Structure 1
């Protein structure tokens, strides 16, 4: 008993000394991080002083210091506005659909790609599917507008092969626009998201497959009882961390594809803030909406990291 107590005491002393050394020795690493910290402080924290506008009736000629205070007026108007409920629904619909599909499809694709034995073919396929991730939505939106227009190649193909009477208005009809937004985002990102699961697959102990093969298990049984259970912890981590993006529906994508005729079905919080703030000059109201989104997103991020730690033992600090 005394030996165990002394051993525990020694271990605690060693850990404390390692922690002290860890904070004293790598000062060069902290110096390397300093430019990034300054960049974040200047461009992310200093602008937060503009949050004050959400509680003011901001006038550009008076500035923040001279504009009159109105308290929670803009927040009350926000929740009383029926259109705000619609953009909340659009945002959650887009974001949740993308999160779910960007989990299921990369997970399934990683399992299928893992079964390919020709390494050259496997790497070629992997490169092709994650290449769209590196293209901006400005470029992809132009391509999609040409492809999905009423005279585009997609409608010509559907009309010639399936005999449609008239072309589908992909970017002008609310229902088709929602489907286009969701599936074009999945097409762009699923290849890059697959890398996470391929990395997890590379960490599976090969001895498990060898033992299963000796026991007579085929590839399907090995996938079912070894590969999938080994990927589930990573799937849980990715899913829980994705909770923080429930109110992020990708401004770049929606802004470059939508039009006034489908505002009711395609408008999201970020595009609404852009129009109200920069185009209409309603700076205080736009700031209130953006602050509401930021508070909800921060809450969801904290919850998701706590869930990731409790369920899968994932933590950053």
Structure 2
């Protein structure tokens, strides 16, 4: 009897699979407009993100352009060992981690605080004015932003003029390595805080007003309502954005770091993305640069997986 049931299940499995495929195909045909709508995005990622991934092979080869990717000789982990033994390795790791950590530490909570404060404003005209003012810096290009930093913090810039008015000595901010990180982080906060707050404001807009009314009836203060109503409402959104931020931990802004570098502050400003650009494109060491970039990507993936797993356990919210 058991053998007969087992044979029947084996025979019926392919039939069930075929019926499921037919049903799925019918659903795709009935919603073909949605798939056509998604097609350009899917093609973009396939052509420009997945197909070029075969180029990672040059990290394990001594790439010679005339021989191509497949024809170049295989060298294994030689380029990785060269990077790990390089005198710049620990300085690059330290600078990249320090900038990423400081950017996350100061840049991540500020949009949440800004959104909570804006959400409490009742004067709509003033609220829109503040939103416009804090959003505007996001639309400034990186080149213009760095130019503003140079203008404000140069020897004859506004900041040094204020320092000299109060009897102090001018500081050459852009030539001192210890000032690179504060200028990088503060300029990024000024540019992106307002824009990042938009996501949290959208989440706060979905909070049912009746919950606030009930809390007011129970005697809750404004601060208590922020803690017990608003923050729980935006917590899932905050966790998703935190996972994404940590997943991009090692890929901090290449353009701004590169533009802010000078021969005098490069010891504090040299990070992995700028190093890859210099050795890969400027010095034409393609295989070595690919190995460094792959190492960076692997670290990012490990961080993304670990933080996503922690977020699922602690808050029940994650990317997957």
- Pick the TM interval, shorter chain: 0.7 to 0.9
Q: Hey, what does 1:238 align to over in structure 2? A: 241
Displacement after TM superposition at 1:68 (Å): 2.1
Give, in whole Å, the separation in 1 of the partners of 2:29 and 2:283. Answer: 52
1:26-71 deviations in Å (ceiling 9; x for gaps): 2221122222222222222222222121112222343323322211
Give, in whole Å, the separation in 2 of the partners of 1:210 and 1:22. Answer: 44
Give, in whole Å, the separation in 2 of the partners of 1:217 and 1:171. Answer: 49
Q: Hey, what does 1:280 align to over in structure 2? A: 283
Distance 1:94 1:59, change over 3 A: same
Displacement after TM superposition at 1:217 (Å): 2.5
SS in 2 for 1:297: helix
Give, in whole Å, the separation in 1 of the partners of 2:27 and 2:301. Answer: 30
TM-score, with normalisation over the residues of structure 1? 0.87
RMSD: 2.2
CA contact (8 A) 2:311 2:317 kept: yes
Q: Hey, what does 1:28 align to over in structure 2? A: 33
94, 97, 112: which one pairs with 1:92? 97
Q: Hey, what does 1:127 align to over in structure 2? A: 132
Displacement after TM superposition at 1:261 (Å): 2.1
Matched, 1:198 2:162: no
Give, in whole Å, the separation in 1 of the partners of 2:180 and 2:125. Answer: 37
Report 1:99-114 matches (<5 A): 99-114=104-119
Q: Hey, what does 2:268 align to over in structure 1? A: 265
Distance 1:29 1:310, change over 3 A: farther
Q: Hey, what does 2:177 align to over in structure 1? A: 174
Displacement after TM superposition at 1:73 (Å): 0.6
1:164-218 deviations in Å (ceiling 9; x for gaps): 12x2222221111111011111111110111122112112221222122222233
Give, in whole Å, the separation in 2 of the partners of 1:299 and 1:23. Answer: 35
Matched, 1:184 2:210: no
Q: Hey, what does 1:64 align to over in structure 2? A: 69
Matched, 1:118 2:129: no
